[in-house]
Chain A
Amino acid sequence: MAKAAENPIRFALNAMNHLINTHGEFTFSEEVKQSLTVRVRLQSHPELKIVQSLSDLDKDQSNVWHHESSDSYILFRENSCNGHNDCYLTHSDIAISSTTHEGLVVAIALYEGIDNESLDHLMAQISKGDNT
């Protein structure tokens, strides 16, 4: 408890990581370059429900969404350098965790903005056993 009280931001981030890492055996991670595009896509998706959120004093954001039908959690983390080491970029990364391989594929498709028709085609391939 004392450790948690020392740094609540670190505590919140640890809780998010713990949620993703213990949810399922099927995971995906990636550095994200189009940070704003991804955030808007995730925030505006009707099937994604935000379950954890953290915004710190530097306005860095970390959010966890849950996608019920695929039973997947998506953690999207955005960190701005704000001129530190002459860097003004926003560094973002995403981690997705699912309880099934099919669920993971669906969640990755949501993150990448694949349209429903393409997703249906992908799922049909998976159901045929071509889940490579």
Chain B
Amino acid sequence: MKKSQLEMKTKKIARLRVWEKFNTFPGGKDHSRSCIFRRFDDPEAARLFIAASRWTKVVAWHQDKDELVALYSNGNTYILFDRFRVEESGDIDVVIGVAAKSTDQLQVVMALLAESQNQNAKQPTLFGESNG
């Protein structure tokens, strides 16, 4: 990141910094790198699932009111959680990105994230029904 950018207000560039860290994920020794972006029905459940995992740790974080960009890593993969306010509509949108050294590792993480959605769907609601 350029020095002139680092002299800007944190609010303006913190999100860029976390994204830059995600984008510079080192990949494998043979330069292999796989990346995917998805929206989930319950992104917060996915984030809590990631955060609660003993294999992952949070490596970068920026919070501003209800906006949050967080980067998690388990060594082989980076998982980016980006909750942001859409400028045009003012709505909150959430995107989750995964970068891995191979497509296999990528698929493992995506399967875990999908599982977080399933777990949520199995939780009973007040009316005794699945909320999935």
Residues of A within 8 A of B (CB): 14-15, 17-18, 20-22, 25-30, 75, 93, 95, 97, 101, 104, 129-132
Query: Quick one: CB contact mask for B1-25 with A, threshold 8 Å, 1 for yes?
Result: 0010011111101100110010000
Q: In the complex where A21-B13, A22-B6 touch, is A132 in contact with B61 (Cβ < 8 A)?
A: no
Residues of B within 8 A of A (CB): 3, 6-11, 13-14, 17-18, 21, 47-48, 51-52, 54, 58-65, 71
Q: In the complex where A21-B13, A21-B17, A29-B10 touch, is A129 in contact with B54 (Cβ < 8 A)?
A: yes
Q: A101 to B13, Cβ gap below 8 A?
A: no
Q: In the complex where A18-B3, A95-B11 touch, is A29 in contact with B61 (Cβ < 8 A)?
A: no
Query: Which of B47, B59, B62 sits near A27, CB closer than 8 Å?
Result: B62
Query: Which of B3, B48, B51, B60 sits near A25, CB closer than 8 Å?
Result: B60
Q: How far is the CA of A27 from the CA of B7 in the complex (A)?
A: 15
Closest to A20 in B: B10
Q: B51 to A28, Cβ gap below 8 A?
A: no
6 closest A-B pairs by CB: A14-B7, A95-B10, A25-B60, A29-B11, A132-B51, A26-B61
Q: B62 to A132, Cβ gap below 8 A?
A: no
- Closest CB in chain B relative to A13 CB, distance in Å: 8
Query: Which of A14, A15, A30, A132 sits near B64, CB closer than 8 Å?
Result: A30
B-side contacts of A27, CB under 8 Å? 10, 14, 17, 61-63
Q: A17 to B51, Cβ gap below 8 A?
A: no
Q: In the complex where A21-B17, A132-B47, A132-B48 touch, is A26 in contact with B60 (Cβ < 8 A)?
A: yes
Q: A75 to B61, Cβ gap below 8 A?
A: no
A-side contacts of B47, CB under 8 Å? 132
Q: How far is the CA of A50 from the CA of B61 in the complex (A)?
A: 24
Closest to B44 in A: A132
Q: B11 to A21, Cβ gap below 8 A?
A: no
11 contacts between A and B (CB under 8 A): A21-B14, A25-B21, A26-B60, A26-B61, A27-B17, A27-B61, A28-B63, A29-B11, A30-B64, A101-B58, A130-B52
